[in-house]
Amino acid sequence: MDTSASTGTGTGVGSGRAADNVVAALEALIVSGELKNREPLPAERELMEQFGTSRTVIREAISKLASLGLVETRPRFRPVVRKPDYATVLHACGNVVQHLLADKTGIKNLYDSRVFVERTLVRDAAVSAQKDDIVDLKAALEHNKKAISDSDEFFRTDIAFHGVLYRIPQNPIFPAIHEGYSSWLAPRWNQMLRSPERNEQNYLAHKAILDAILERDPMAAEEALINHLNAAWEFVRVTFDWDDE
């Protein structure tokens, strides 16, 4: 859309927001590593002197950096530098996403996109999963099995199983996406009733997916995945008494 990042405030003086200069400067210091990851930012009053500007501007800059995910601010603590990674992006989206999940349509859209992604994930897994991927999947499935009687634990291992799928492409974007789905979607049906029966059902569904992957059958894997997620959605739908298709 806009290339604001590069155009910025231009000559650096005059146009618009003074905070932007500070943001840009600190941004540079962070990516260059001069401000080391996980370390606190200098005190506001220090930065204020360092940049020859008022505390107002410094604070605004810090606020902006925080919203960019480059620093983490806790109420009464020094902001902590955080080098941006893929998780940062998701974190930045998070707050906005909430609004889109206000109605069932939004939730359904997100859920559908998840199905969309995982379909290809399992297809690809069936075609090209490596030995260690298989090992991970088997282990995750085993954790499922062991946790059938403990719904809370099963919930975690359930997410973990899908997580393995997202790691297979070796692209850090996917685990981040998984993190997103997990943190945005899962809480929605947190208050949903769980039971060893359902857990077992889900375990079997996971097993069916893994079996198809082991057989190197993308079609079957995709189908098993679709069945699994459709069933899960159906359960959600019934639970919350949603009428839509």
Partner DNA sequence: TCGAAACTTTGGTCGGACCAAACATATGAA
Partner DNA sequence: TTCATATGTTTGGTCCGACCAAAGTTTCGA
| Cβ neighbours of 74 (radius 10 Å) | 8
Residues contacting 11, CB < 8 A, separation 6+: none
- Residue 161 and residue 64: Cα distance in Å, rounded? 36
Distance in Å, CB of 238 to a copy of itself, minimum: 22
Told to check if 169 binds a copy of itself by CB under 8 A, we report: yes
Among 12, 34, 39, 43, binds DNA (CB under 7 A): 43
Q: Is residue 39 at the binding interface for DNA, with CB under 7 A as the rule?
A: no
Size of the residue set binding a copy of itself (CB under 8 A): 49
Distance between CA atoms of residues 82 and 36, nearest Å: 8
Identity of the residue, 66 or 100, whose beta carbon is nearer to DNA in the bound complex: 66
Task: State which of residues 38, 52, 96, 197 lies at the interface with a copy of itself (CB under 8 A).
Answer: 96
16 binding DNA? (CB under 7 A): yes
Do you know the residue count of the chain?
A: 245
Could you tell me where the beta strands, DSSP code E, fall in 48-153?
71-72, 80-81
Q: Binding of a copy of itself at residue 13 (CB under 8 A)?
A: no
Question: CA-to-CA distance for 137 and 213, rounded, in angstroms?
Answer: 10
SS3 72: strand
E-state strands within the chain: 71-72, 80-81
In this structure, what are the phi and psi dihedrals at residue 36, rounded to the nearest 5 degrees?
A: -75, 150
Out of 3, 75, 95, 241, the residue judged to bind DNA by CB under 7 A: 75
Which parts of this chain interact with a copy of itself (CB under 8 A)? Answer: 1, 3, 5, 15-17, 31, 56, 59-60, 63-64, 67-70, 75-76, 84-86, 88-89, 91-100, 102, 109-110, 112-113, 116-117, 119-120, 169, 171-174, 183, 187
Contact positions vs DNA (CB under 7 A): 16-19, 41, 43-46, 53-57, 59-60, 73, 75-78
